[in-house]
Amino acid sequence: MVRAAILPAVGAPLEIAGIELPEPGPGRVRVRLAAAGVCHSDLSLSNGTMRIPLPAVLGHEGAGTVVSVGEGVTHVAPGDGVVLNWAPSCGTCPACAIGEVWLCDSALAGAAGVHARTADGTDLHPGLNVGAFAEETVVAANCVLPLPAGVPLTDAALLGCAVLTGYGAVHHAARVREGESVVVLGVGGVGLAVLQSARIAGAGPVIAVDVSPEKEALARAAGATEYVVASDTTAKDIRRLTGGRGADVAVECVGRATTIRTAWDSTRRGGRTTVVGIGGKDQQVTFNALELFHWGRTLSGCVYGNSDPSKDLPVLAEHIRAGRFDLSTLVTERIGLDGIPAAFENMLAGRGGRALVVF
């Protein structure tokens, strides 16, 4: 038995309980978790904004050590450090065939399977494939990526979602160029990763926006050169800080209609607005036909940073080893499994960056 955080039903409190994991069969890997990040997507799963089969073990951003492997697994071995990949690509669907692996048709197919069982025999599903809110997990082989050399195992959990998403939003989705101005709306774990990535890209100014004045120090440590407390005048404030034009690029990391609209309004004519935040289907964003023509802006979504983890992890590892990307600055709290509900509350209240469950 290993301890895990179980979501029994939409909106229900998480239950910390023992679960029974099977031994890894062919093409499967058992991993002892070192740490798991508490992502806003986990909150969205718990409240029903995003739907998965339930009951489930939540958690999708994690890193740990391989305990055992099933037949046919050759890219990792017992004792290896690994990063969990919650959206593995199949390599054969139409999206994968054209290199858009982040849009793989079967990326979440594993979430429908039975992952483990409770002590009374209840079937459990793996939240977003990996079930990382547990001391150990068993996942498909393509859900584990070898830990790059020189990357701390505990902090490496952040590579599994926040960092790949934030880095990819800047370098793949928005394609930020040196000297461009960037505004980042939402200074949570992903927003902090976006700020560091914008700094790596040579952007400037880099403007952080959040509802909380207390996050200014976090934002500036991550690379923000300016900080704006969100208000009804945010778009005007951004234009004032960018010579009256608006930012070349706006990256929205909240997932609300109001902040998406603010990101759009903060972008210069011909600029690029990238939406990273995951909002509910009730969040309707409206534009009129004339403004779409006049402003000539580009509005795009961003899934998992439009990243290919197998290619991006080595690049990120080099930035980490060189000191250009500091994983530890994203973490504002280290907790146990029992601390996840409080971490959810902090996210709802807009407090802190990334909470990290450390086993």
Give the model's pLDDT for residue 248.
98
Kindly state the DSSP code that residue 339 receives in the 8-state scheme.
G
Q: Which has the closest alpha carbon to 87: 10, 28, 139?
A: 139
Q: To which CATH superfamily is domain 164-303 assigned?
A: NAD(P)-binding Rossmann-like Domain (3.40.50.720)
Confidence (pLDDT) at 187: 95
Residue 143 pLDDT: 95
* Whole-number pLDDT of residue 85: 95
- Determine contact, residues 41/161, Cβ cutoff 8 Å: yes
Average pLDDT over residues 166-171: 97
Q: Does domain 2-160+326-358 have CATH number 3.90.180.10?
A: yes
Average pLDDT, the chain: 95
pLDDT tens digits, 182-233: 999 999 999 999 999 999 999 999 999 999 999 999 999 999 999 999 999 9
What pLDDT, on a 0 to 100 scale, did the predictor assign at position 52?
87
179 pLDDT higher than 90: yes
Measured at the CA of 147, the angle between CA 145 and CA 149, to 5 degrees, comes to 145
Is 353's pLDDT higher than 90? no
pLDDT at 11: 86
Q: How far apart are CA 316 and CA 311, in angstroms?
A: 9
Over residues 144-157, mean pLDDT: 94
Domain residue ranges in the chain: 2-160+326-358, 164-303
What pLDDT sits at residue 229? 98
pLDDT value for 245: 96
pLDDT at residue 111, rounded to an integer: 85
The phi, psi pair for 264, rounded to 5°, reads -60, -45
The mean pLDDT of 42-52, rounded to a whole number, is 86
Instruction: Evaluate the CA torsion angle 86, 90, 95, 98 in order and state its sign.
Output: positive
pLDDT more than 70, % of the chain = 100
Q: Would you say 131 and 57 are in contact if contact means Cβ atoms under 8 Å apart?
A: yes
> What tokens appear for 225 in the block?
């050169």
Q: What is the pLDDT of residue 40?
A: 87
Max Cα–Cα distance, the chain, nearest Å: 64
Q: Quick one: pLDDT at residue 348?
A: 84
The three-state secondary structure class of 178 is coil
Give the whole-angstrom CA distance, residue 313 versus residue 320. 10
CB 297 within 8 A of CB 271: yes
pLDDT tens digit sequence for 299-331? 999 999 999 999 999 999 999 999 999 999 999
pLDDT tens for each residue of 107-135? 988 888 899 999 999 999 998 999 999 99
Kindly indicate the confidence band of residue 72, based on its pLDDT and cuts at 50, 70 and 90. very high
Residue 30: pLDDT band with limits 50, 70, 90: very high
